Structure formats: C-alpha cells, structure tokens
Structure 1
Amino acid sequence: MRILSRLALAGTVAVTLFAALPSLAADSIKIGEINSYSGLPAFTEPYRKGWQLALEEINAAGGVNGKPLEVISKDDGGKPASAITAANELTSSDGAVMLMGTFFSNVGLAVSDFAKQKDVMFLAAEPLTDAITWSKGNAQTFRLRPSNYMQAAMLAEEAAKLPAKNWATVAPNYEYGQSAVAVFKQILSAKRPDVKWVGEQWPTQGKIDAGPVVEALLATKPDAILNVTFGGDLVKFVREGSTRGLFKDRAVVSFLTGEPEYLAPLKDEAPTGWIVTGYPWNAVKTPAHDAFLKAYQAKYNDYPRLGSIVGYVTMKAAAAILAKAGSTDTAALIKAAEGLPLETPFGPISFRAIDHQSTMGAFVGKTAVQDGNGVMTDFVYRDGKDYLPDDATVKGMRPAP
C-alpha cells in the first residue's frame, strides 16, 4: 500500500490510500473519509485499520466494476466545523463521490446536514444518535452501527428483569449521551412502569470529575445505574465508583463498556457483573468472523476492536453500494443502498429503505475479569432487525422527503 500525505487547510491532515495496483490515474473511484482520529484514537485507529484492510481486499479482487477504490481520509478533530471543512474539500476539490465515517454524534449530524445540502451520499459509520436516521434523517444519509434506540432496547430487555426500581444515570453531556439516556428511560419505563428515575449526572465528554459525580450518584441511593460514559471518562468513573462503593450491591447497565477499546484499558480494575453491549472478539466462533480475525491479525499482528469491525464493514458497504449502482451519481447510489444486503463478520445485514438504518446488531453480555483482564461473558448476539420500530412508527419520526 502506498501512502501519500499532504497538509490541508485548517491543519487537517488528508491521506490518500489505495491497495497495490499499477495505476489509479483518473480511473479510480474516490471516497472521502472523515473521522476523529485525534479526538478518540482508542476507537478510530482500529477503525482506520479495519477500512484499510477492507480496501486492500476490494482492490486486490479487482476494485469496483473494474475500477480501483481510492480513499482520501481527513481528521475532524472531534469538531463539527472541522468536519464540514473536510467534507467541503473532499467533495469540491478532491473529487470524492461519496462520504463515509465520523465518530461523535454531533459531528455525524453536521456531516449529514452537509450531505443533504450538497446532495452527496454519506455513509455514517459510528455516530449513534437516533436523530441521524429519524428526526433529522435525510435521503442522502445511511448509518451502519446499531443506534442508541437499538442498543437501549437490547439493554432495557435485560434491565427489566432486574428487581431494581430506583435508577440513576450518568452520561456525557452532548448529543450521544443525551439521546442514549432519553431512549433508555423511555423503553425501560414502558416495560416497567414501577421504575423511578432518582438522579442524573451530565459530565462534559472527556473531562469528567469522577469524584463529585460518584458522590452525587451515591446521594440518590439508586438500586441501579445506567452508565453511558466511555473512553478515559469510563476509566475514571469505574475507579472512583469502585473506591467509594458505588457499585456495591447495585446493578449497572452500560452502553459500549464491553467493547475492547474501552474494557481492555481497565485490566483487572474492570467491573464485574455489569450488563453491557460490546464485542467479545476472542470468543466469537463463526466462519465469517474467523476469516476476518485471521486476515486482521495477519496484517496487523494485533487483536481487533469493535472499531476494526466498523471500519471494515463500512468500507465493504461503500464498495457494495458503488458496485450495485454502477454509477457515482448520488441518486443511483441512494437507490442502490436502500435494502442492500451485505455479509459481515457478524453475519448478514441490510440497510432498511424506510430510514437508511442498517440491521447490524450487537453483543449483549456481562463484564468479568479473567487472567487480569476485563472480558465479556454470558454474551448473546442480538440481531439489529429485531430491535427496530416498524415502518409506521418511523414515518411518524422522520421528516417528509
């Protein structure tokens, strides 16, 4: 793989990548990729490795309809304004025919609005807010990962079985955290009308002051806690919570904590018995996942994170959309993506025509410590299609075209 890098406007680094091929010239199909590489490298670096592996496989197999794919990648730094600058450069100067990527929900929403205004297809990889496919959805935007609603529905299904009645919440105070808490409350309260919400904490993303947060939660005397923190905030929250006894004899339900990029850094400090969504990479035993794992470890000599899966499948999806469309015209790409089936390391998925949400699912299980490392146990893969609202409900939430 040859890597050409150049410094773009506003300090954004753009990198063009392609698999080893004789020549790209004007025949390559360019995809613009945007993500928060400097904002949250724990997830986005494995994500980049995932899409680079997929790109290499696609081009080694002949590209898309005989043309190689070329990816021009830019770092948004976790800032919506930087993402819009990058999107504009990619589509107006770099020749990208579609956009993919983004991590933070507020960044994803910004790029989605850009895609609508400029009529360019956007394949959102990671942002989880429900707004991106529902209240602020548009024809040009598709989303890969299971949304907040889908993961909340999976977790609420388990939470409803708990005897806990008094719940407190902690989540980062931006679009993702706000959306996750709201939808979990909605779904659990519908399943368990006896539940009471006794407290909530909203730390700034990446800047949690865990001691006061834990003390505030303790003061509400909850039976159970919903956690939506991740990354470095999660590490601090777990350490302070363990030290101050927050988790003693209390159930914890937690978005994302079972993902290796967030669980592994905790090592033997990982909490035990939390109900989580995640990715038990070393315990998934299916032919499709085995093939992915073998290829990933052969290329990188490292284990995959969930970001690796997301990057890999996003790139495969982009190629499949282009191949089916047989064109780089936005209208043709949208038509090709609606209802598109796709094989993934987690099994078959499709992109729903009604809301452009994929049916990718998630693993739900419990946290444990084994051999000094945090792991997921007692896990089950939940198919995303079983945790999505019906068409009539979606039509009521999504703007008219």
Structure 2
Amino acid sequence: MTVTAGILLFALLGILLVFGVPIALAILLSAMVTISLVIPFDVSIIITAQRLATGVDNFTILAIPLFVLAGIIMNNGGIAFRLINLAKIIVGRLPGSLAHTNVVGNMLFGSISGSSVAAAAAMGKIMTPMEMRQKYSLSYSAATNIASAPAGLLIPPSSMLIVYSLVSGGTSIAALFMAGYIPGILWGLSVMAVAYVYARKHKYPVSEKVSWKDKLFIVFDAIPSLLLIIIVIGGIVAGIFTATEGAAVAVIYALLLSLLYKQLKKEQFKNIFKETIEITGMILLLITASSLFSLVMSYTEIPAGISSALLSISANTIVILLLINLILLVMGTFMDITPAVLIFTPIFFPVVTELGIDPVHFGIIIAFNLCIGNITPPVGSVLFVGTSVANARLESVIKTLVPYFIVLIVMVLAVTFIPQLSLFLPQLFDLM
C-alpha cells in the first residue's frame, strides 16, 4: 500500500502542478483522491472535512497573519529608508558600498518584515537607482539584492520557522528563532564576500564619508525600528509572551512607529488590510491543505517508507544529510517555501530523528535549503521580483548569481555539518 499510495499521491501532485493548478489546490486534490482510494469514500469525505477544519485550528497559527500585518505596516511606514541609512553607516567604506548597504538593509528589513519578497522589492526600488548613478552593473545590483533578500527569513521573527514548528510536532519557536541568527548572518556575510570581490574587480566606489554628527543622528533615528526585534524576540525568548502574543505586540509597535514617522496615511489602511488578507488566506489554505496531505502520508505510512528507503541506502549520517540537502535544494527550485516546509518536514523528520539530529538544527537545515530555492529558477519568487524591480534581463542576472549560489551551497553544508552554528544561541539562552 505504501508504494502504490506514495506513487499515486506524488504523481497526481506533479501532474497538477505541471498543468498550472495553484499549488494549494494541487496539494488538496491529490490528497483527497488518494485518501478516497485507500479507504471507503464516505469515510474519506468525513475525514477530509474534519482535517480541513482542524488543520488551522491552532493558536500558534494566529502569529502568521499578525506578523504578515506587522511587516506590511512597516513596509508602508517609512522604516526601509531608516534601515538603509543605518546600513550605509555600517558598510559605507567598503568597495561597492552601495551593494553592501543593500545586503545589510535586506538583513535588517527582511528580519523585521518577515518577507524576502518584500525586502527585495523595497530595497531594490531604493538601491537600484542609487547604484545606477554610480555606474554599477545592473545585473550585479539586481543579483546582490536577490541573493541577500532571503537572509531575513532566517533572522527572526520568521513565519517559515513558525510553520516548521507546527508540522514538526511543536519544536520550540523561541529556540528556532534564536537558532536562525547565526546562519542568517552567515548568509549575509557570504553574499557580501562575493559582492566585495566583484566590486574590487570592477573598481566600484566607496560611499562618501559621513560626519560623526550625522552618524549619531542616523543611528538614533533607526533605534526605534531595531527595538521592534529586541522587544518581540526578547519577550518570546524570556517567556514574557508567546509567539502569537509577540506578533500582536509587533503589530501595535509597528503601527505606532509608522504613525510617529508620519508616513502612514489613513487611505493606505484599506490596501494594507487587503494585502494582509490575501497573503494570510494563501498561507492558511496551504497549511490546511498540507495538513490533509500529511494525514494521507501518515495513514499510508509514506514517511516511514521513505525513511526506510533512505536508511537502506546508508546508515551514515553524513550521507543521509547530503541526500536530504540535495532533495531539498532540487525541490526548492520548483516549490515555494511554505508548501515545501509543510510537505517535506513530515517526510524527513522521522529520518533525522532516528539519526539523532536535533529538531531545531534540522529546522534551520530545511529553512536554509529552501531559502536558496527562493532565488533560483524556475519558481524563485525573489528572483523574479528582484529582476522586475531592477528592470534587468533575467539571463544576465542568473549568470551573475552563479558565484552567490556557490558560496550559499558551501554555507548550507556548513550549517548542516556544524550543528553549533544553529544550536549555540538556543543552548546559551537555555531554550533546549
């Protein structure tokens, strides 16, 4: 039954995706057809209805729409400009300083907004014209923006890690959040290393010197935005509030800060709530569809079958992790991050559990791999948004991205085989 059900389930999913069916609907239909063929139809209908209703019946899931709302408010509230000014202060004396400013800006804004697409769009719109005035290559400008945007998905708060927590059986969100810091910073530094070599080769300029008076003003102007991370993450780690309560605090803080900056108009709220509803609806539909998909996999023992198959290839942890990384990297090029987390976590979790790999560490492995898929063709949303914002040719941008891909694959191997890169901070704060 396992082999037949697995082939049917994933074959249907693949066929539906090839024909352009939206991924949430494709997941739902493939799961419904499979479960109706392995158990009586009348029973399968009841189970399906119950699962769709209970799939999002979880208090923790409420954190996702709240973090989405907070990110959209910040995206419209003038915070990006202040973070870019701060980034200029940090890396302004490096060759190709505008490109480095873009990277640091993506790390800061992406972590606060929780969206790599929002970060790539916001930073690209601001940085590309500035870089063009200093004769930067358009493909280099776009590639650096695209390659650095997903770093903010690893640096908390991160909706992706919340989703992983849900499907991995309740892995600590606080531990996952702290685990994302070092890998997220390493992502940004590795992109900066490639950008530095490219800038030195093409003799791109450094930014003008900024007086100490202006530096102090820029730093103080950015502090309220940075305090959001400290308040939300600090509160969650300290146990003052849950991730969901922290998300609510983020919304209130972002709203007050945007009103204080006087860049959020009354007319914008309609579009802010509309965008939040659209994104939330998409994510929740994916979660509830994937919960049925996971139930079908569990009922037909697909994860156990895949676990046995992988372990039959080798009992060596290094070999198994290399295989899992390879599968995640390949599948990440075809799937968005949220559905990939929802589908592949239940499949690989039994394998890594048997190998003794910590669930927090594995969460960062999955996140890092799928973030790379977020910037690769054919489905990389950040790739297409970043290219569109810069008005650059896709072919030239992908060519320029190749060195970035290489260093990021090196980084994902480092994160995979050096567990302390992920576990040091959670252990330091006694979250594990």
TM-score (norm 1): 0.30
Structure with more relative contact order (C-alpha pairs < 8 Å, separation 6 or more):
2
TM-score (norm 2): 0.29
Query: Whose radius of gyration is greater, 1 or 2?
Result: 2
Q: Which has the higher helix share?
A: 2
